[in-house]
């Protein structure tokens, strides 16, 4: 398709899309996504409220869980404006600066979640393999430093992306594949040389997602070795059960992430609907399932939720 060449002083606009081939079902799609938004926002807000109110939850594991909930809220609110505009009001145009801002926040929270899952795996490792040193190793100051590390690292990795895109010329129709702005989608639209963008994108993915996944796997190898050294079968199962919530959070984050990456790299000839559905799963499922999983598997949170539901005074 032909298009207009935009120079650096005339920034382009982009056209968002809903579900290709299912234009007549957009309202039903928004009802589905709206339900996911409600579960995600309410669920993560409840997690934050419960951790704040329950004194027994004021410990490193739940501080990291709170950071994960804040991150999931960030993911939800980053996509909400354009998803609402596209599926509900059929407003599909987005300015260059707005698109860059949304792309920054979506990827920022995505990279940050990987870092949070990594520090949570370290917390589990210390709690299981060095329980006597847990309070001395994970002091409040170290917990704060670990959280700041996840936040600052994500910002430093993502900040150059909008700047690298802004230097390029856009001369195509600038139609995006989703109802929000993602870097893998935007990188195919410029007419200039995108070698630097591709190399930088590969570096930050390998140094964050790749490294984090390897370290999380390594931490669970060490945890499994410690657990197998426990004589009692009942104690082994009880110890492993403390890791189930985190393992589920890791799987529901990394499996869709790998699926999106594989589809983008090797599924270029796949129907556009496949790319759209994969990105929806990646961005909508983890923020929705994380609070559900932790509410079910964490006894203290489950107990507090039960008291709230039955209206017990406390």
Q: Per-residue pLDDT for the chain (314 aa), expressed as one digit of tens each?
A: 444 444 445 678 999 987 766 666 667 777 888 899 999 999 999 999 999 988 888 999 999 999 999 999 999 999 999 998 888 888 889 999 999 999 999 999 999 999 999 999 999 999 999 999 999 999 999 999 999 999 999 999 999 999 999 888 887 778 888 889 998 888 888 887 888 988 998 899 999 999 999 999 999 999 999 999 987 888 999 999 989 999 999 999 999 988 887 777 676 677 777 878 888 889 999 999 999 999 888 877 888 777 777 765 44
CA of residue 304 relative to chain centroid, distance? 26
pLDDT at 276: 80
| pTM of the model as a whole | 0.90
For 14-310, give the CATH class: mainly alpha
The Cα 110–Cα 248 span in angstroms is 17
* Cβ–Cβ under 8 Å, residues 171 and 3: yes
Q: Is 3 left (phi over 0), alpha (psi -120 to 50) or beta?
A: beta
pLDDT of residue 150: 96
Q: Give the angle subtended at the CA of 298 by the CAs of 36 and 148, to the nearest 5°.
A: 75
Alpha helices (H) in 138-210, listed in sequence order: 140-158, 160-166, 183-186, 195-205
Q: Residue 24, Cβ neighbours under 10 Å: how many?
A: 8
What is the predicted pLDDT for the residue at 5? 46
Indicate the DSSP class of residue 57: G
Taking the chain, what is the end-to-end CA distance rounded to the nearest angstrom? 64
Residue 18 phi/psi, 5-degree rounding, is -95, -120
Count the neighbouring beta carbons within 10 Å of the beta carbon of residue 194.
Answer: 16
Query: Helix 60-87 to helix 96-129 angle, to the nearest 10 degrees?
Result: 150
């Amino acid at each position: 398709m032909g298009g207009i060449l935009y120079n650096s002083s005339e920034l382009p606009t982009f056209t968002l899309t809903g579900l290709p081939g299912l234009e007549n079902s957009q309202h039903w799609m928004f009802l589905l996504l709206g339900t996911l938004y409600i579960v995600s926002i309410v669920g993560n807000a409840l997690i934050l409220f419960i951790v704040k109110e329950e004194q027994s939850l004021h410990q490193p594991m739940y501080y990291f869980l709170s950071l994960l909930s804040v991150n999931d809220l960030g993911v939800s609110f980053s996509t909400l404006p354009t998803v609402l505009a596209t599926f509900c009001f059929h407003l599909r145009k987005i300015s260059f600066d707005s698109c860059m801002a949304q792309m920054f926040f979506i990827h920022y929270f995505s990279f940050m979640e990987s870092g949070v899952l990594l520090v949570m795996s370290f917390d589990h490792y210390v709690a299981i393999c060095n329980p006597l040193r847990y309070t001395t190793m994970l002091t409040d100051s170290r917990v704060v430093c670990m959280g700041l590390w996840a936040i600052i690292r994500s910002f430093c990795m993502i900040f150059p992306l909008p700047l690298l895109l802004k230097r390029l010329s856009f001369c195509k129709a600038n139609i995006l594949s989703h109802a929000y702005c993602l870097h893998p989608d935007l990188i195919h639209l410029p007419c200039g040389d995108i070698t630097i963008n591709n190399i930088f994108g590969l570096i930050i993915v390998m140094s964050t997602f790749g490294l984090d996944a390897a370290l999380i796997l390594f931490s669970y190898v060490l945890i499994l070795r410690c657990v197998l050294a426990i004589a009692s079968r009942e104690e082994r199962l009880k110890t492993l059960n403390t890791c189930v919530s985190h393992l589920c959070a890791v799987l529901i984050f990394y499996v869709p992430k790998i699926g999106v990456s594989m589809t983008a790299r090797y599924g270029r000839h796949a129907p556009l609907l496949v790319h759209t559905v994969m990105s929806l799963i990646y961005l909508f499922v983890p923020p929705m399932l994380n609070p559900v999983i932790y509410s079910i598997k964490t006894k203290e949170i489950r107990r507090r939720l039960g008291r709230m539901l039955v209206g017990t005074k406390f």
